[in-house]
Structure 1
Amino acid sequence: MMNLRSVRRPCAVALLLSITGASTAVAQGAAAATAAPGAVTRADLATRYLLMDAAYAAADSSARLTDSTRAALNRIFDRSTLSFFGGRFAVTAAMMDTAITMADPTYRYVRRELPRDVVIDGRPARALRDALSARLARLDSAGPLAQAIVSARARAALLVDTVSAERSAEFLAEPSTLARAVAAEVSALEKGHNPYARQVGDLWRSYRGANGTAVAMRVIAPRAAATRAVGVLLALHGAGGDENMFANGYGQGVAARVARENDLLFVSLATTPFMTSPVQFDSLMAVLGRDYRLDASRVYLLGHSMGAGAAARLAQERPRALTAVACLAGGAAVTAAGAPPVLYLGAQLDPIIPAARVKAAAAATPTGVYEERVNEGHTLMVRGAVLRALPWMLQQPRR
């Protein structure tokens, strides 16, 4: 989640708002330390999603899945999603275990504890956090560095003594490395410099949007962003996900990889704020425009499920600001004058947002194109859909 120099790279979850895993080994260490013996935690379910995502991608890439197995696996996994939203965690875990085993027969779930009593250079983590926060409080939070200060504060807040199983940003961080990185950022701000300007690499951040809303985001900048104007790929996750979903989840971060290969600034966002006001988009682009040179002719938008609905709304309300849009397993009609081309991808087996609904939205969109993922369901369709959608968007004429 944070700068690659300050945090282990995370892998986002599909079902949960604030849980992710960095790798199979890290994810298996992400279970809640305080859980009752045998109780299924949100972190347990997050771990299982990561393992499912990896196993499905590996089986799909090696062509080990038959059509019937693919369909059965997707149906089970989507039922586990519905069970999760019904609060039946134990049932959800059992169904996820069944689905993972279908993709990887060697699978066995292992729970480990989260770290406690975090100490950095002989001091409790909270002491460093409080010292950094105090330095930030003395800066001009209304001046030109206001948004950079918002990010630094959010990053400093991740330095905690007891790591939460509910916040992936905390349990994925390497505390001493993070502390050094944030200290350097605070020092730069004290000298009047923006530490995030032209920064290359992978950074977890936050910015202040419309009505003072704090919006979390992952920014993954290619090397080209340090020296020239680059295009932008914005990604909006589905319900229950977080700003890390497209960055490392959803097919093991395939969207971030394709963006990097095409010299695009990749920005994976917390979706909910974008469902309420298009001004969130305006604020975001202003923040990114201060930190990087942006190619306004290449601004792409990708969304899954709830995120697809938010993407369609932005295309309707800010049509001329977007080059192309892709709505995966969701979306609505886009009828605004000057609307960008919109690719709608439905999933044949989707019980949450049926393919027929996605197809109808495409049919009602003058610039819409519809395609369907066969033998796939609501969540596991995303990897293949991203691999189809991103090349399609990049082929569309620049604005």
Structure 2
Amino acid sequence: MVGHAARRTAAGISLLLGTAAAAPAGAQSPAAPAPATVTRADLAWRYLLMDASYATADSVGRLSDSTRAAINRIFDRSTLSFFGGRFAMTAAMMDTAITMAAPTYRYERRALPVGVRIDKRPAREVRNALIARLAALDSTGTLAQPIASARARAALLVDTVSAERSAEFLTDPAALARAVTAEVGALEKGRNPYARAVGDLWRSYRGANGAAVPMRVIAPKAAASRAVGVLIALHGAGGDENMFAMGYGQGIAARLARENNLLFVSLATTPFMTSAVNFDSLTAVLGREYQLDATRIYVIGHSMGAGAAARLAQERPQALAAVVCLAGGSAVTAAGAPPVLFIGAQLDPVIPAARVKAAAAATPSGTYEERANEGHTLMVRGGVLRGVPWLLQHTRTR
């Protein structure tokens, strides 16, 4: 639930909402109620805590099947409440679920920076100076995309950090200011500062109709000197480009990509639901900045992102080596479509496992697997651990 403004789901989901499910015997209740006004930052930090607590408890075998199922059911109810805009109820249910995985848990709200200063100057002054320098450059030439990225990065420098925008509250303003200053300097000299860049970078690019598409790019050291494959990750509803990079199993997809020398690109999903041109623009941008191995371009998506991943497989079948759809997706019937692994979750109330299985059955290149005792969101960690190695078994014939 790290992300920008919540995406409201179809009216049918609201029928599934209700009061929080009771915790099973022995589970502790949170020590204090959720704050009167719950922000997206509150939900973001809770999600990251839930994700970490569940992963830790699961990895050491501390969760029985019945406890795992109970945690998943409660957490999925919190997800449905979130979709309905009931943030206080969402927070309370998340607290219950987290406590079941980590009994000593107590939520403490993190104070967000106010009156941010960088080298004794208000952050907005640093931002405005950088944007003014960028405005003097030719934004229609070969450096148009990197200029757009630098402008988006500079815009994160604000005096008061928003509790509703994760790209702001997950950013270190001083470090960002230093980095963007160097990037603007490179652009002024006619160089693309993002070409062959390694490490973890929040940025954006211009997609269909010039719309800005936020993304996290995490590049392994190998990307600086040789051809690398690409793992494109598309989050579910209510999330954003940080979900696969930091959440969903504590960023397990990004770690696996780095370990296997893949360029990891986690994007805002919504643009990919409307136009495959956004994929074309993305690969064009990445292709100018890195040496890409076109035989190893993979896509993984969760929920809404699984739908977007299936759509890409349908509309750009020749471009992809393989696709994984987690707790979602649709039939892929295009000629020459890549292999598609659909993974459903046994307890999923949002996109039932039967629906995911049906999509796989209608996909000639599809395979179906199911996560037992798990629900819509917490299944992603296990799905990624299964899905990424599966992706790496496939290459696309040139």
TM-score by length of 1: 0.91
Equivalent in the alignment of 2:353: 355
- Deviation per residue, 1:79-138 (Å, 9 max, x gap): 011111122222211111110011000100111321111111111111111111000000
Distance in 1 (alpha carbons) for counterparts of 2:222 and 2:198: 8
Distance in 2 (alpha carbons) for counterparts of 1:212 and 1:238: 23
Distance in 2 (alpha carbons) for counterparts of 1:89 and 1:198: 41
Distance in 2 (alpha carbons) for counterparts of 1:397 and 1:183: 39
Distance in 1 (alpha carbons) for counterparts of 2:5 and 2:175: 22
Question: Any idea what SS the aligned residue of 1:204 has?
Answer: strand
Distance in 2 (alpha carbons) for counterparts of 1:69 and 1:135: 56
Structure 2: which 5+ runs fail to align? 7-33
By how many angstroms is 1:45 displaced?
A: 1.6
RMSD: 1.3
Q: Which residue among 192, 195, 199 is the counterpart of 2:193?
A: 195
Structure 1 residue 101 corresponds to structure 2 residue 88: no
By how many angstroms is 1:172 displaced?
A: 2.2
Q: Which residue among 133, 136, 139 is the counterpart of 1:135?
A: 133
Q: How does 1:200-349 map to 2 (within 5 A)?
A: 200-349=198-347
Give the conservation status (yes or no) of the 8 Å contact 2:74–2:93.
Answer: yes
Q: Which residue among 93, 109, 112 is the counterpart of 2:110?
A: 112
Equivalent in the alignment of 1:90: 88
Which residue identity does 1:170 align to in structure 2?
A: E
By how many angstroms is 1:223 displaced?
A: 0.3
TM-score by length of 2: 0.91
- Deviation per residue, 1:20-63 (Å, 9 max, x gap): xxxxxxxxxxxxxxxx9632222212211111000000011111
Distance in 1 (alpha carbons) for counterparts of 2:209 and 2:64: 50
Equivalent in the alignment of 2:4: 17
Question: Any idea what SS the aligned residue of 1:352 has?
Answer: coil
Distance in 1 (alpha carbons) for counterparts of 2:88 and 2:156: 30
Which residue identity does 1:370 align to in structure 2?
A: Y
Q: How does 1:33-112 map to 2 (within 5 A)?
A: 38-112=36-110
Which residue identity does 1:185 align to in structure 2?
A: E
- Structure 1 residues 138 and 88: alpha-carbon distance in aligned structure 2, compared to 1, 3 A threshold: same
- Deviation per residue, 1:240-292 (Å, 9 max, x gap): 00001111100000000000000000000000000111111000000000000
Question: Any idea what SS the aligned residue of 2:333 has?
Answer: coil
Give the conservation status (yes or no) of the 8 Å contact 1:347–1:374.
Answer: yes
Equivalent residues, number: 370
Question: Any idea what SS the aligned residue of 1:198 has?
Answer: coil
Distance in 2 (alpha carbons) for counterparts of 1:86 and 1:282: 33
Give the conservation status (yes or no) of the 8 Å contact 2:342–2:367.
Answer: yes
Distance in 2 (alpha carbons) for counterparts of 1:129 and 1:46: 26
Distance in 1 (alpha carbons) for counterparts of 2:172 and 2:179: 11
Which residue identity does 1:212 align to in structure 2?
A: G
Question: Any idea what SS the aligned residue of 2:114 has?
Answer: coil
- Structure 1 residues 185 and 18: alpha-carbon distance in aligned structure 2, compared to 1, 3 A threshold: farther
Give the conservation status (yes or no) of the 8 Å contact 2:183–2:193.
Answer: yes
By how many angstroms is 1:18 displaced?
A: 6.1
Give the conservation status (yes or no) of the 8 Å contact 1:18–1:168.
Answer: no
| Greater CA drift, 163-172 or 148-157 | 163-172
Distance in 2 (alpha carbons) for counterparts of 1:364 and 1:309: 14
- Deviation per residue, 1:218-255 (Å, 9 max, x gap): 00000000000000000000000000111110000000
Distance in 2 (alpha carbons) for counterparts of 1:172 and 1:388: 28
- Deviation per residue, 1:125-161 (Å, 9 max, x gap): 1111111100000000000000000000001111111
Which residue identity does 1:289 align to in structure 2?
A: G
Which residue identity does 1:225 align to in structure 2?
A: A
Which residue identity does 1:165 align to in structure 2?
A: A
Give the conservation status (yes or no) of the 8 Å contact 2:41–2:166.
Answer: no
Give the conservation status (yes or no) of the 8 Å contact 1:18–1:242.
Answer: no
Question: Any idea what SS the aligned residue of 1:334 has?
Answer: coil
